[in-house]
């Protein structure tokens, strides 16, 4: 039995030491990584960038659905 999970899973992890610092790096990989990151990344549109590149921007909270929008699902 393989306990590693599916290699296509999307995984996120802190790549820098936790604590107060000037910069924090978050590593996100997997089949849905770019789609997920593009929803919360404020900077360039990541869906239109080449693979294996670095981009400056900010991570924001994802938009939340209103009670009315949730009831339509």
* pLDDT tens figures, 48-60: 989 888 888 888 8
Q: How many domains does the chain fold into? A: 1
Cβ atoms 37, 28 nearer than 8 A:
yes
Whether 36 is covered by a domain: the verdict is yes
Domain housing 51: 11-60
Whether 5 is covered by a domain: the verdict is no
Whether 3 is covered by a domain: the verdict is no
Whose CA is closest to 12, among 57, 63, 46, 59? Answer: 59
What pTM was computed for the model? 0.58
Which residues touch 16 (CB under 8 Å, ≥6 apart)?
A: 23, 24, 25
Average pLDDT over residues 9-29: 86
Cβ atoms 24, 16 nearer than 8 A:
yes
Quick one: what percent of the chain has pLDDT higher than 70?
A: 77
Whether 23 is covered by a domain: the verdict is yes
Task: Report the SS3 class of residue 43.
Answer: coil
Whether 70 is covered by a domain: the verdict is no
- Alpha-carbon distance of 13 to 45, in angstroms, equals 22
């Amino acid at each position: 039995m393989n306990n590693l999970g599916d290699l296509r899973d999307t995984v996120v992890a802190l790549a820098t030491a936790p604590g107060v610092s000037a910069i924090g790096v978050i590593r996100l990989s997997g089949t849905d990584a770019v789609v997920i990151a593009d929803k919360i990344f404020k900077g360039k549109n990541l869906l239109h960038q080449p693979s294996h590149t670095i981009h400056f921007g900010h991570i924001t909270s994802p938009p939340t659905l209103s009670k009315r929008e949730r009831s339509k699902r």
